[in-house]
Chains A and B, each alone.
Chain A
Amino acid sequence: MAEQHDAQQHSEVPLAQVTARKRGRLSAVWIIPIIAALLGGWIAVQKLLAEGPTIEISFSSAEGLEAGKTTVKYNGVDVGRIDSLKVSPDRQRILASVQMAPETRDWLVDGTAFWIVRARIAGGSVSGLGTLLSGSYIGMQIGSGSERLRSFTALEVPPVVASTAQGRYFRLQASNLGSLDFGTPIYFRRLQVGQVASYALDEDGRGLTIRVFVNAPYDRYVKAETRFWQASGLDFSLDADGLDVRTQSLTSILIGGLAFDTPPENADADPAAVDTVFKLFDDQLTAMKAPERGSLQYVLYFDESVRGLAVGAPMTFLGMPIGEVVSVRLDAKRQKKDVAIRARVLVAAYPQRFLDMMADPQVLTAGRTAITPEMRHELMNRLVARGLRAQLQTGSLLTGQLYVALTYIPTASPASIDWRSDPPVFPAVKGSFTDIEARLTSILTKIEGMPLAAIGKDLQQSLAALAKTLQDVDALVRRWDGELSPELAKTLAEGRRTLAAAERTFDGAGKALAPDSQTMSELQATIVEVRRAAQSIRVLADYLERHPEALLRGKSEETQE
């Protein structure tokens, strides 16, 4: 009370109440910036932890790529994003700096591939349609290397075969690409078993190497002897064998394809090793017959035109194909001071095929599987001695294609195989068709020699005479017309009447002769009677013939027995 009074005395301002001091030395407010710092630090740490490696990918073009937007996807999962795009110092490439997810650290190794995924129609399939709306993204395939890399070069085209796919790669040597592309299917017995992975022009530019991938269960059907061929679209060929059309599936007609098969005799061989090189043939026929083992070459010389004889044209033995034409050249031969130029045709014969065609090859091989050269020489010499000759024949009159036929020509002048030259020279004769041509020419020459003018004059005179004769005939006909026609008309009318009468008569007769008419039945009865009478007479005649005496004595008892 005293205090209050004192305060009132001091001033009219009321005195504050005294409370205990509670404040600590350091303000608790400092917790707030600490929390803020912790939050910020936590975010930063999280951001750093979530930050994967930054890599550099080099593209030939950044079309469709956008910094900060375009993502890197591995099997559809986002694993990175493009930070920035810039042009390389040499201005040839675009360098993209890509922020990858932390889990990709172990994926960025030697062999890892990146490519731009765009909408793409290839190999009979449409892919990346989603990118039409969402924009392109970068596809990723993890390599199998161990060396970690920080810069990559993007593939120009997406890899056709996933790195995880089971199977084997093979290489094909081709002369041209045909209608192949990445992802072009490969067929085995019309079943799609793989696809074209890549192709590249050879260093020397003379051919292409196509890398194909055959999927796992089917890759064991690729043997060392397997043949690959282009099954691209429709394959027409018009040759000495006529028109031939070959196709694979409808898909391959549209987009092309490759096919392979193994000749049946090699079907049990071991599967081919990875990256085995095969030759790519143009079609199935050449593929399946091409590398014949132990082909024998012969030379044929022809003095006639070989127009229409193509390389690859068949050589037949009595119509069975046993070889083909390897080359057609000209050959000059000097005889004393004269020079003879003739066509030189090199043919390849396949003895194994010849044996395969034999119903019983043992007759020729004498129990062995193959013919020895000595046996072959002897056999060929004998066949030639019997008149076997090579001859050019026309396979098709339409195309004029020629082929080499080995036929027996009994009238051929004696000849023999020249074994000394290499390759041996097989005797040839003029082709039948060219023979016909020569004969036709001689006929034409004779026709040309005919006195056609004189014949023409004679013909003209004959024709004039004929014209006159015809005029006479004409007059005669007119006379006939005037004099004979009325008579003829009358006769015709009478004739018609007679015919009508006859018709009526026949009508009556027809009625009488109808099967159910009385006349008919009576007639039938009569005929039966007559037949019986005739029978009796025949019996009588027979009896009388054997027993002429009966005519005088009557029937004897003995004869009746």
Chain B
Amino acid sequence: MNSAGASALSQGCAGCEVCGLVVRLPVPAGAASCPRCGERLHSRRPASIERTWALTIAALLLYIPANLLPVMTTNTPLGAVSDTIMQGVVELWSPTSWPLAIVVFVASVTIPLGKLIALAYLLLTVQRGSVRSNEQRVRLYRLLKFIGRWSMLDVFVDTFVVALIQLQPLMWVEPGAGVIYFAAVVVVTMVAVNSFDPRLIWDLPQQEKQAHG
């Protein structure tokens, strides 16, 4: 036994993910539900890797139009100016507002892309049955879960600006199609992170250790 203790799976048990009740699974492996709350039980979330992959790929696909399409169109008597996320960052990049440019860049470009890369990394390592640095990977997973709710910054800015700046006909701001794709990226990524079963990270190493033991 290592410090992590024996997994429930190895003992023929499973924990309910809603109420936390630990139950023994029926001997012929099949679908089971929690006797206390009725939640369906699985030792590991079914098709977790497959689902996460699908969502990650979907998010990656959505990420392309999110960055290519304008997120905001500013109309003034001097003409209409449409900006994509990157153009907004470039525009903010000036001696006075460069910290803001960094914030927008990190929140809107680095984090969504980083999340997708991190998810892909977790999935690949789990599929390949890697045994190394599983604690770090778990930490990465927690970070992904935590950070998910904060990556809507651009969407928030957009909605506020569009709602506030409506001084027609002098100046008004219209949302661009890009913001919908961006919101979709964030939502799909969050769902992907949730559909990933972190228990898979330490499944293989334990099996290996048991096999060795």
Q: Is the CB of A16 within 8 A of B14?
A: yes
Distance between Cα atoms of A18 and B31 in the complex (Å): 6
- B47 at the A/B interface (Cβ < 8 Å)? yes
Q: List B contacts of A133 (CB < 8 A).
A: 77-78
Q: List A contacts of B65 (CB < 8 A).
A: 39-40, 43-44
Q: Is the CB of B54 within 8 A of A17?
A: no
Q: List A contacts of B78 (CB < 8 A).
A: 133-135
Question: Can you list 19 contacts pairing A with B, beta carbon distance less than 8 Å?
Answer: A7-B24, A11-B24, A14-B23, A14-B35, A16-B14, A16-B34, A16-B35, A19-B30, A19-B31, A29-B195, A32-B54, A32-B58, A36-B61, A40-B65, A44-B65, A69-B81, A71-B79, A134-B78, A135-B79
Most chain-B CB neighbours within 10 Å: which of A14, A19, A22, A40? Answer: A40
Give per-residue flags for A477-501: 1 if the beta carbon is below 8 A from chain B beta carbons, else 0: 0000000000000000000000000
- A556 at the A/B interface (Cβ < 8 Å)? no
- A236 at the A/B interface (Cβ < 8 Å)? no
Distance between Cα atoms of A558 and B35 in the complex (Å): 188
CB distance from B88 to the nearest CB of A (A): 14
- A368 at the A/B interface (Cβ < 8 Å)? no
Chain B, residue nearest A31 (CB): B54
CB distance from A65 to the nearest CB of B (A): 13
Given A40-B65, A135-B78, A29 and B54 contact (CB-CB distance below 8 Å) = yes
- B62 at the A/B interface (Cβ < 8 Å)? yes
- Which of chain B's residues 171-199 have a Cβ closer than 8 Å to chain A? 177, 181, 184, 188, 195
- B55 at the A/B interface (Cβ < 8 Å)? yes
- A15 at the A/B interface (Cβ < 8 Å)? yes
Chain A, residue nearest B69 (CB): A43
- B32 at the A/B interface (Cβ < 8 Å)? yes
Residues of B participating in the A interface, judged by any CB pair closer than 8 Å: 13-14, 21-26, 30-35, 40-41, 46-47, 50-51, 54-55, 57-59, 61-62, 64-65, 68-69, 77-79, 81, 177, 181, 184, 188, 195
Interface size in chain A (residues, C-beta < 8 A) = 31
Q: List A contacts of B13 (CB < 8 A).
A: 13
Q: Is the CB of A33 within 8 A of B55?
A: yes
Q: Is the CB of B62 within 8 A of A39?
A: yes
Q: Is the CB of B50 within 8 A of A27?
A: yes
Q: List A contacts of B25 (CB < 8 A).
A: 16
- A35 at the A/B interface (Cβ < 8 Å)? yes
CB distance from B35 to the nearest CB of A (A): 5
Partner of B51, one of A7, A19, A21, A27: A27
Most chain-B CB neighbours within 10 Å: which of A19, A33, A36? Answer: A36
- A23 at the A/B interface (Cβ < 8 Å)? yes
Partner of B61, one of A19, A27, A30, A40: A40
Q: Is the CB of B184 within 8 A of A23?
A: no
Residues of A participating in the B interface, judged by any CB pair closer than 8 Å: 7, 10-11, 13-23, 27, 29-30, 32-33, 35-37, 39-40, 43-44, 69, 71, 133-135
Q: Is the CB of B59 within 8 A of A134?
A: no
Partner of B32, one of A11, A19, A30: A19
CB distance from A399 to the nearest CB of B (A): 60
- 20 more CB-based (< 8 A) A-B contacts, given A13-B13, A16-B26, A33-B61: A7-B24, A10-B24, A13-B24, A14-B21, A16-B41, A18-B32, A19-B30, A19-B31, A19-B33, A27-B47, A29-B195, A30-B54, A32-B54, A32-B188, A33-B54, A33-B55, A33-B57, A37-B58, A39-B61, A69-B81
Chain B, residue nearest A26 (CB): B50
Q: List B contacts of A11 (CB < 8 A).
A: 24
Q: Is the CB of B22 within 8 A of A13?
A: yes
Q: List A contacts of B181 (CB < 8 A).
A: 39
Q: List B contacts of A19 (CB < 8 A).
A: 30-33, 40
Given A16-B26, A17-B32, A135-B79, A36 and B184 contact (CB-CB distance below 8 Å) = yes
Q: List A contacts of B31 (CB < 8 A).
A: 18-23
Q: Is the CB of A17 within 8 A of B35?
A: yes
CB distance from B188 to the nearest CB of A (A): 7
Q: List A contacts of B188 (CB < 8 A).
A: 32, 36
Distance between Cα atoms of A69 and B74 in the complex (Å): 13
Distance between Cα atoms of A133 and B76 in the complex (Å): 11
